[in-house]
Amino acid sequence: MPAIWIASARVIDPAAARDARGDLFIRDGQFVASLSAAEKKRAKKMDARGLVACPGLVDIHVHFREPGQTHKETIATGSQAAAAGGFTSVVCMPNTAPVADNAGTIQFINDAAERGAVVHVYPTGCITVGMKGTALAPIGSLKRAGVVAITDDGDCVQSNELMRRALEYAKMFDLPIMDHCQDASMTVGAVMNEGAMSTRLGLRGWPHAAEDIIVARNVILSESTGAHVHLQHITSRFSVDIIRRAKARGARVTAEATPHHLAFTDDALAGYDTNFKMNPPLRTEADRRALIAGLGDGTLDIIATDHAPHTSDEKDREFDYAPNGVLGLETALAVTLDVLVRKNKFKLATVIDLMTRKPAQLLKLPAGTLAPGAVADVCMFDPDVKWRYDAKAGFSKSANSPWHGLTLTGCVKATIVAGRIVYADGKISS
């Protein structure tokens, strides 16, 4: 593996509070403080003038659909989409077919990642057997198999008692629980946010209280057990307030927001476009503003994509019957830069922190830093260049993106994983 010399970049490393013009050096898959004169002559030199070089982006919420739903995505194609988006580490959800509720399925996922992934892929295991919410999965076995968290994402554990026991066991095994917060009794048949737009469109509404109630439940159980609960894809301003007050008391809760919930509101559904149909749904402008404020004051800890591929045939149906979910990996950086940096005056280093150091720290992943000795994962991007996103020409197997055909600003130019250039100039390296 040749040494790499990234020259004249704007280097942003939140873990070291570094934001300055400089060089990065990589040898044998790790960052080093410098290269010798002889090594520099032999190194692959990458001219990064005008580019930002930061730790590889980290996404702790993706759906790669393997095993069982490989017509939508595979670990190989999902990892290529991740690399194209500047991500070097991703955490896969367990709602595959079969679901990842046992060590054998986790081993299958790890083997598939080792064979075909171009980025680091980490598995999660289920909270409950079959994701049915009735009996706990073998959490100890899942931990030994290599999961970094447990979750029934896609479903929510409805039993408060079962969730309490899950938290007690998860704490014993030092595993976070990641929860999709949804009171199912309040969302039967619901397909979008409950409000003026759902009334206008004649679609069954999904009240924000269905999220708020479970967020409050999880806060209470976290405080009573001392376990770490991570609240996935928060959308409601009331949930943001609950989390803010819980953190002020010292509760072990963390939370995420997605680029699509930061960028859109339920007004986007006016044309019944199923590429805007997701779970949880797009909500109001007040909710969107609350998410941005929550990221600004630390109430919400990270940004995660909830990358959820579906085929065109699946999405091209009546709105009620189309599946929930949108692609996110290839557009996440550009969308987040637009919403937070350009429109809401966040510092670029703050946004990089939300997408690198903080998610890595949350799940204790070996990522999110450019420090000498660390694994050499790098995202290089031009924050100002404009490009047109064509989801059908992207690296995912699916194309269900609300940004298809739009011009975005901020483009990933190269992605380096463990010292190997896996994406550059719009192509995946073999």
Q: Average the pLDDT over 71-88 and give the result.
A: 98
Domain that holds residue 62: 56-362
Whether residues 245 and 274 share a domain: the answer is yes
| Global pTM value | 0.98
In a domain, residue 367? The reply is no
Identify the band that residue 16 occupies on the pLDDT scale cut at 50, 70 and 90: very high
In a domain, residue 246? The reply is yes
C-alpha torsion angle, residues 147, 148, 154, 160 (rounded to 10): 100
In a domain, residue 288? The reply is yes
Whether residues 180 and 193 share a domain: the answer is yes
Identify the band that residue 393 occupies on the pLDDT scale cut at 50, 70 and 90: very high
Identify the band that residue 1 occupies on the pLDDT scale cut at 50, 70 and 90: confident
pLDDT, one tens digit per residue, over 371-383 is 999 999 999 999 9
In a domain, residue 356? The reply is yes
Whether residues 27 and 72 share a domain: the answer is no
Whether residues 391 and 308 share a domain: the answer is no
Whether residues 419 and 338 share a domain: the answer is no
In a domain, residue 368? The reply is no
* H-helix or E-strand spanning residue 256: strand 253-257
Whether residues 163 and 303 share a domain: the answer is yes
DSSP 212-234: HHHHHHHHHHHHHH---EEE-S-
- Per annotation, catalytic residue among 101, 306, 338, 377: 306
Percent of the chain surpassing pLDDT 90: 99
Q: What own/partner pairs with CB < 8 Å and gap ≥ 24 does 220-224 have?
A: 221/160, 221/163, 221/164, 221/167, 222/167, 222/246, 222/251, 222/252, 222/253, 223/249, 223/251, 223/252, 224/164
In a domain, residue 149? The reply is yes
Distance CA 270, CA 266 (A): 8
In a domain, residue 369? The reply is no
Greatest distance between any 2 Cα atoms in the chain: 70
CATH code of the domain in which 8 resides? 2.30.40.10
Whether residues 288 and 418 share a domain: the answer is no
Whether residues 304 and 281 share a domain: the answer is yes
- Which tokens in the block code for residue 23? 């060089």
In a domain, residue 89? The reply is yes
Whether residues 346 and 247 share a domain: the answer is yes
What is the reported pLDDT for 430?
A: 66
Q: Average the pLDDT over 85-101 and give the result.
A: 98
Whether residues 40 and 126 share a domain: the answer is no
- Reply yes or no on whether 306 is catalytic: yes
Residue with tokens 């896996």: 422
Mean pLDDT of the chain, nearest integer: 98
Whether residues 386 and 340 share a domain: the answer is no
What is the reported pLDDT for 53?
A: 98
Whether residues 89 and 42 share a domain: the answer is no
